[in-house]
Amino acid sequence: DGTIWAIHNSKEKLDKHLAKTGGKVYTRFPPEPNGYLHIGHAKAMFIDFGLAKERNGSCYLRFDDTNPEAEKKEYIDHIQEIVSWMGWEPFKVTYTSDYFQDLYDLALKLIRRGLAYVDHQTPDEIKEYRENKMNSPWRNRSISESLKMFEEMRLGMIDEGKATLRLKQDMQSDNKNMYDLIAYRIKFTSHPHAGDKWCIYPSYDYAHCIVDSLENVSHSLCTLEFEIRRASYYWLLEALDLYHPYVWEYSRLNISNNVLSKRKLNRLATENLVDGWDDPRLLTLAGLRRRGVSSDAINDFIRGIGITRSDNSMIQLNRLEYHIREDLNKAASRTMVVLHPLKIVITNLAGGAILDLDAKMWPDAQNDDTSSFYKIPFTNTVYIENSDFRTKDSKDYYGLAPGKSVLLRYAFPIKCTEVIYGDDGKSIMEIRAEYDPSKTTKPKGVLHWVAQPSPGVDPLKVEVRLFEKLFLSEDPTELDDKWLSDINPHSKEVIKEAYAVPALANAVLGDKFQFERLGYFAVDKDSAPGKLVFNRTVTLRDSYSK
Ligand code: ATP
Ligand code: MG
Ligand code: MG
C-alpha cells in the first residue's frame, strides 16, 4: 500500500508517519459506547484486529465517544470485556474524548486559516441551504468574529442549538458530505469519560479522521456508508497538514430475521421487548454468549462469509447456525432431558430395583475410557417425550405405540402393553410397558428418556428455554417505523419443569450440552442453586452446509 499512501500524502507527511511507526500497521476498532456490541461488530473486529495481527501490527480499541447523551460507562465496561471475550487484545484502549483538547486546538487553527466558521443556522436552514448549494450567511464572517464566538461557545455563553462550528468545505461539490460539515456543537451534557469539562463536543466527521491521524493509524477501515465521507476525511487532514491514514470500506453485516443497529437494539432492550441487551434472541455478542455460542463459532462464521465490499449483504441465520453446530458438536457433551414427560411404568421390573447404567458423553466414547461416560439410573418408572408416543401406530412411525417396541438409549428395549387413561377417557395418565432385559428385540426407534432415580422420587427438574427467530420478516428494517410490530410472538418458550438425568445437577454456568435428540443447550445465568435454567443454543437439524 505504499502507493496508496503516496497518492494521498506528501512525501514529507508520510516520512513523518513512518518515522513514528517504522512502517508498522496500525488499525483501530472504534465503537461508540452507546450500546452493547453485536455480531456486525464481530466482523469489524475481525477486520481491524485481524489485519493488524496478520501484518504484525497493532490495533487500538478506541471509544468514539462524541455523543455524551447516548453514551454510558456501563457500555464502555461491557465493550472492553466483550472485545477480550472475542479473543482480541487491544494494543491500547483510547477515547476520542482523551483528545478533546487537541481537537479544540486544531479547531482554532482551522478558524485562523479561514477554513472553519461559527454558524447560527438552524438544522432546517442548514438542510435547505445544502439542498440548494447555498452558502450560510455566516460563512464569510471574519476570522476574529468566529474566534470570539467559538470561545463563547466553549465558555457556555451561547445556548444549545444557537451556534455550531462548520468546516468551510465546498458548497458546490457533487458530494453532499462536503457541504460544510459540522465540526462542533453545543451540548450542556456531562460526558461519561471526560466529565464536565466541556460543553462543546466535536462531531464524528471532525474527530474521527483527526484522531486516526494523531494515533498514527495506517489503515482506517470502516463500513460502506462512510465511503462518501472519505472526501471530507481527507479534506480535513489536508487542511490541518496532518498525515492521512489509508481509508478502506467494507460491507455491513446483516442477518435475516433480526436487527443489528444499536439504536434498534436499545429500544428492544430498554422497552423490555426482550430480556435486556443479553437476551439470547438478540444477535448482540452478549446475547449470543448467553445463548451458548462461543467466540470461535462467531469468528468462524465471519471468516466464512468473507470480507466483501458488495452492497449490504443479508446473510441467512442458518449460516451462523451451521458454524455453531460445528463448534458445539465437538464442545458439548451428551446428556438426556425430557421436555414434556410422559410416565411409563415398567411392569416386569421390581419397584425397588435400580440399575446403574452407563451413558455416553461423546458419540465416539471408547468402552475403556470411563471419563467419557456418565451414570444413569434405570428404574420401573421412566419418562419419555409426550410426542414420542402415539395411540395409533403407522409404518413410518418409530416412536412408542400400543404393542410396539422402542429402544431406550443406553438401556433396554421396552414394549407398550397398556395405556392408562384419565377420568375423561382421553388424556393419557401413564403407559405400562415391559422391558427386555436380554435385549433380543431390535426396535428401529431409539428414544431419550429419564428415570425416577429411586421409587417415588421425581427426576431432577430443570427449566428449559427454547427460542425461535425474533422477527417474522427476513428484514424487519424494511417496515420502517413498524418494525417493532414484526416481533415473533412465539420467539421464546419457557418449559418450567423438564426432567433431567441426575448427572446434570452438577452443571454450572458456562457448561454446554447436547440434550440428545433436542439440540444444544447452555446453562443460563438465571440458574440458582437447585434450579438450573438452560437455553437452547441451536437445534440439531442442519439445513445449511458449506
Ligand atoms: P450501530 O448502528 O450498530 O450503532 P455504528 O456503525 O454506529 O453501528 P459503531 O459502534 O460506531 O457502530 O461501530 C464501530 C465499528 O463497527 C465501525 O467501524 C462500524 O463501521 C462497524 N460496524 C458497525 N456495525 C456493523 C455491521 N453491521 N457490520 C460490520 N461492521 C459494523
Ligand atoms: Mg459509529
Ligand atoms: Mg451508531
- With the C-alpha atoms ordered 281, 285, 289, 295, is the resulting torsion angle positive or negative? positive
Predicted confidence at residue 492, as pLDDT, reads 98
Name the grid cell of 45. 473486529
545 has pLDDT over 80 = no
67 inside domain: yes
Residue 31 CA to ligand 2 center (angstroms) comes to 6
Q: What is the tally of structural domains in the chain?
A: 1
Q: Which amino acid is at 449?
A: W
pLDDT classification of 171: cutoffs 50, 70, 90: very high
Predicted confidence at residue 7, as pLDDT, reads 44
424 inside domain: no
160 inside domain: yes
pLDDT classification of 161: cutoffs 50, 70, 90: very high
Residue nearest to atom 22 of ligand 1 (CA): 41
Residue 214 CA to ligand 1 center (angstroms) comes to 22
Residue nearest to atom 26 of ligand 1 (CA): 40
pLDDT single digits (tens) 414-439: 999 999 999 999 999 999 999 999 99
Average pLDDT over residues 354-373: 92
**Residue 546 to residue 543: CA distance in whole angstroms:** 10
CATH code, domain carrying 45 = 3.40.50.620
75 inside domain: yes
The minimum-distance atom of ligand 1 relative to the CA of 221 is: 18
Closest among 236, 4, 270, 201 to 110, alpha carbons compared: 236
Do 48 and 60 form a contact (C-beta atoms < 8 A)? Answer: no
Q: Which ligand is nearest to the CA of 207?
A: 2
Tally of CA atoms within 13 A in the half-sphere of 284 that contains its CB: 27
- With the C-alpha atoms ordered 294, 509, 521, 513, is the resulting torsion angle positive or negative? positive
Pocket of ligand 1 (CB under 6 A): 30-32, 40-41, 43-44, 64, 222-223, 252-253, 260-263
Helix (H) or strand (E) holding 3: helix 2-8
Q: Which ligand is nearest to the CA of 37?
A: 1
**Residue 25 to residue 106: CA distance in whole angstroms:** 25
Q: How many residues does the chain have?
A: 546
The residues, ordered by sequence, that sit 6+ positions from 177 with a Cβ below 8 Å of its Cβ are: 205, 228, 229, 231, 232
Name the grid cell of 160. 444549545
Q: Which ligand is nearest to the CA of 204?
A: 2
Residue 151 CA to ligand 2 center (angstroms) comes to 28
Which domain range does residue 14 map to? 2-250
Do 35 and 283 form a contact (C-beta atoms < 8 A)? Answer: no
Pairs from 132-139 (Cβ < 8 Å, separation ≥ 24): 133/171, 133/172, 133/179, 134/171, 135/171, 136/166, 136/180, 139/166, 139/168, 139/171, 139/180
pTM over 0.90: yes
**Residue 16 to residue 435: CA distance in whole angstroms:** 83
388 inside domain: no
Place of cell 468574529: 145
196 inside domain: yes
Residue 153 CA to ligand 1 center (angstroms) comes to 30
Residue nearest to atom 13 of ligand 1 (CA): 31
209 inside domain: yes
pLDDT single digits (tens) 63-94: 999 999 999 999 999 999 999 999 999 999 99
173 inside domain: yes
- CA separation, residue 388 to residues 156, 159, 166, 426 (Å): 72, 70, 70, 17
Annotated catalytic residues are: 32, 252, 262
| Helices 204-214, 100-112: crossing angle, 10 deg rounding | 110
